[in-house]
Amino acid sequence: MKLTIVGSGYVGLVSGTCFAEMGNDVWCVDIDEKKIEDLKKGIIPIYEPGLEEMVKRNYNEGRLRFTTNLKEGLDESLFMFIAVGTPPDEDGSADLKHVLGVAREIGQKMEKYCIIVNKSTVPVGTGERVRKAVREELEARNKPELEFDIVSNPEFLKEGDAIEDFMRADRVVVGTDNVRTAELMKELYDPFQRKGNKVLIMDILSSELTKYAANAMLATRISFMNELSMLCESCGADIERVREGIGSDSRIGRSFLFAGVGYGGSCFPKDVKAIIQTMKEHGFDAKVLNAVEEVNKDQRERFVDKVVGHFGEDLSGLTFGVWGLSFKPQTDDMREAPSIDIINNLKARGAVFKVHDPVAMEVAKSVLGNESIEYCANYYDVLRDVDALLLVTEWHQFRRPDFDKMKTLMKNAVIFDGRNQYELRRMEDRGFVYYSIGRAIVK
Ligand SMILES: NC(=O)c1ccc[n+]([C@@H]2O[C@H](COP(=O)([O-])OP(=O)(O)OC[C@H]3O[C@@H](n4cnc5c(N)ncnc54)[C@H](O)[C@@H]3O)[C@@H](O)[C@H]2O)c1
């Protein structure tokens, strides 16, 4: 089948490449000229495991093409996917200027029927706004007879596992108002459904809301565990044991129950804000989700409080090593990463840093700058003469480090672990002062 994906970021590039992998002809469009030129040369703008090889193969075999000219794709494609960003507006609602901009461009340039598929995360009701924007443009061109359909097909991939998530999705949600479009969407996703059909067809509004509901639910689980971690620290329980205790209940399940420094990234923070705003527009106070946000914000501050509790308010003259900067492992995405707030907060109290991230160093430099921060190529270099290590992102290589080597490098054997990577008993045996989340302090 022939399709175009407008927006070649995390979602657009991964989806486009996976559709091409299944034999479809795919145009990936972006307004960022450098991004498109780089992609044509095989330079991938983001870090996503397995993506580079897949992009190159599909590009070389001619199924994946890149352009800044939407019309090239539009003229050939049955499906026009919109996968551009929906960043938060000032009031927290999703800013739809990119989505509606693409809708208008399609309306200005289409010459034949197409199915406009919204893959961006958009507030409930956006499908209708897209339809209206396209219609207005067609009317302005005196071509109201040109037909199109609108579909909502939110994306649930996770950065770091994006290809696996797309190729073997738990489910594919398709919101549509007619049977014919539903059948065409099913046909497009058929090659991904060899082990059983997971396409859920529903109305457009429910599909749009499903995406926000999913992210809000996952964010809620994280904040719930973080709130409990506070109680654990106070009463002497261990959040890791509590997590195992509830996660083994099949009604609850094990995912997204890890206490830590809170959620970040390009989705949860903005999507929780956006659904809160949508509820406000509908006259409701989002009591649960407001609390989810507040707990998440507090959790970063509580991590800083642990450091301040140990070293005192004035941190001048102290150097902290930081392991992990991206908002989660296996990605270079720094959007809303907890590391940003934690470093900036401690920096304001006079601390300086040595930091390392396996892939996010370049992106981190553009976000955190160079002042008071030394970027180290190796994660052990971070430790030389530091007063403490802060483990902020749980990359695999940090799980079983050489603790003896760490102790010889560090000025003080003190670790603040924002991701509960190590066993308390072992840290005690190894002679570290060890702070983690929702567990006893090892001194
Ligand atoms: N990143 C994720 O893990 C993820 C997961 C699921 C859903 N989403 C949602 O998918 C959408 C896209 O997210 P992303 O992370 O891929 O964003 P991104 O910022 O990585 O990519 C968006 C791309 O769209 C391009 N763009 C903007 N306006 C354009 C236009 N008019 N024409 C062509 N290209 C244009 C930008 O240049 C950019 O390359 C968002 O709504 C997001 O909430 C993201």
pLDDT digits (tens, 9 = 90+) for 233-244: 999 999 999 999
Q: Which CATH number fits domain 2-202: 3.40.50.1980, 1.25.10.10, 3.40.50.720, 3.30.70.260?
A: 3.40.50.720
Q: Is the pLDDT of residue 46 over 90?
A: yes
- The pick from 67, 95, 266, 327 for probing ligand 1's pocket by mutation, whose C-beta has the most ligand atoms within 8 angstroms, reads 266
Confidence of residue 197 (pLDDT cuts 50, 70, 90): confident
Task: Report the separation in Å between the CA atom of 61 and the middle of ligand 1, taken as the mean of its atom positions.
Answer: 25
Task: State pTM to two decimals.
Answer: 0.95
- Whose CA is closest to atom 28 on ligand 1? 98
- Whether ligand 1 lies within 6 angstroms of the CB of 101 is answered as yes
Confidence of residue 381 (pLDDT cuts 50, 70, 90): very high
**Closest atom of ligand 1 to CA, residue 11:** 16
**2-202 and 218-435: identical CATH topology:** yes
Identified catalytic residue from 18, 28, 232, 267: 267
- Whether ligand 1 lies within 6 angstroms of the CB of 85 is answered as yes
- Whether ligand 1 lies within 6 angstroms of the CB of 266 is answered as yes
The CATH code for residues 218-435 is: 3.40.50.720
Task: Report the separation in Å between the CA atom of 153 and the middle of ligand 1, taken as the mean of its atom positions.
Answer: 14
Q: Where are the domains of the chain?
A: 2-202, 218-435
What is the mean predicted confidence (pLDDT) over 5-20? 98
What is the mean predicted confidence (pLDDT) over 411-426? 98
- The pick from 30, 35, 158 for probing ligand 1's pocket by mutation, whose C-beta has the most ligand atoms within 8 angstroms, reads 30
- Whose CA is closest to atom 20 on ligand 1? 9
18 noted as active-site residue: no
Strand partners, 150: 116
Q: pLDDT over 70 for what percent of the chain?
A: 100
Task: Report the separation in Å between the CA atom of 87 and the middle of ligand 1, taken as the mean of its atom positions.
Answer: 9
CA distance 194 to 262: 36
**Averaged confidence pLDDT in the chain:** 97
Q: Is the pLDDT of residue 194 over 90?
A: no
